[in-house]
Amino acid sequence: MRVLVVEDEKRLAENVARGLRDGAGYAVDHAADGDDAIFLAGSVAYDLIILDLMLPKRSGLDVVKTLRAKGSITPVLILTAKDDRDSVVTLLNAGADDYVTKPFDLGELLARAKAVIRRGKGQSAPVLRVDDLEVDTARRSVRRAGRELSLTPMEYRVLEYLVHRQGVVVPQTELLEHLYDYNWEKFSNVIEVYISGLRRKIDDGHATHLIQTLRGHGYVLRSDDAGKRI
């Protein structure tokens, strides 16, 4: 998952970004003002935007309105120091999905971030299932047929993204875009390495192969009959 943190207080942005990377394994980009936020959100498909309300150049409310006017469906989680009812109602009506008030609890911020991402991708339970594969996004653990699997952080991130988009063909470029922030060099063959690692840990020894490769198209996580290894 890739998150855009829009916050003008550099220290706060650092803390939030670090919390998201360490606590949820997300890729995080940072924008320090409203204009940068609009630009970044327009050029990258983020899974979530965490947005401070008081920003230089453009207010957070203005950013939300602009994004929604441009047709963006990326979930927006607001960071606000105002907790009066009116401003919260205005925000939600403008297209924000949720909010936390400063000073917030980092654990709560992460939980809400996960929930908003989940709902944005059509999932509701924190434990996502495909056939007998279980991905617990809260504990960041994976089980197949009741047995706990040990994944590397990057393997988990690839699987987490695929399981959120289960049944949909995800191209390599999409995976790259959603798993790395701006500071990474992008090599598509890294993805192939993670996918093969995941296949080995998840599908080996099982009759149904859940991770499938559609050559020239991408990857899909599903449990139908097409799952027989070609």
Partner 1 sequence: MKRASLAARIVVVVVGLDLLLLALLVALGMYAARSELQTAFDAGLQSKAMSIRALVRYEEDGSSDLFFDSTGLPPSADPAHPDVFAVYLKGNLFAVSPGWNGLPAATRYPSGEFARFRQQDVPYRGLILREIEILDREDDPTAPVAKITVVYASSLLEMRRRVLRVGLYLGGIGLLLLVPMSWLTVWAVRRGLNPLHDLAARAGEISVGAWSFEIPAKASSTSELAPLTHALQTLLSRLRESFAAQRQFTEDLAHELKTSVAIIKSGAQVLLRNPRSAEEYRAGVGSLVTDCERLESLVERMLRLARVEQLAEQGPRDKLGTADIRATCEAAIARITALASAKQVEVVLQGHDHTIMRADADDLELVWMNLLDNAVRHSPPGSAVLLNVSQEDGSHTLVTVADRGEGIPAAELPHVFERFRRGENENGASGHGFGLGLAICKAIVEAYGGRISLQSTPGRGTRVLVQLPTRPVPAVP
Task: Provide the β-strand partners of residue 51.
Answer: 6, 78
Contact (CB, 8 A) for 190 and 171: no
When the beta carbons of 104 and 172 are compared against partner 1, the nearer one is 104
When the beta carbons of 87 and 213 are compared against partner 1, the nearer one is 87
**Site residues, partner 1 (CB under 8 A):** 8-12, 15-16, 18-19, 22-23, 32, 54, 56-57, 79, 81-82, 101-107, 109
- In the complex, what is the shortest distance from the CB of residue 110 to partner 1, in angstroms, rounded to a whole number? 9
- In the complex, what is the shortest distance from the CB of residue 133 to partner 1, in angstroms, rounded to a whole number? 26
- In the complex, what is the shortest distance from the CB of residue 12 to partner 1, in angstroms, rounded to a whole number? 5
Which pair of structure tokens corresponds to residue 223?
Answer: 């449990």
Which of helix, strand or coil describes residue 145? coil
Token pair 């403008």 is found at 94
Token pair 């919390």 is found at 19
- In the complex, what is the shortest distance from the CB of residue 8 to partner 1, in angstroms, rounded to a whole number? 5
Edge-first strand order for the sheet with 48-52 is 27-31, 2-6, 48-52, 76-80, 98-101
Q: From CA 40, how far away is CA 107, in angstroms rounded?
A: 26
Which pair of structure tokens corresponds to residue 66?
Answer: 């602009």
- In the complex, what is the shortest distance from the CB of residue 106 to partner 1, in angstroms, rounded to a whole number? 4
Contact (CB, 8 A) for 214 and 199: no
Q: Where are the alpha helices (DSSP H) in 25-137?
A: 34-43, 60-69, 85-94, 106-120
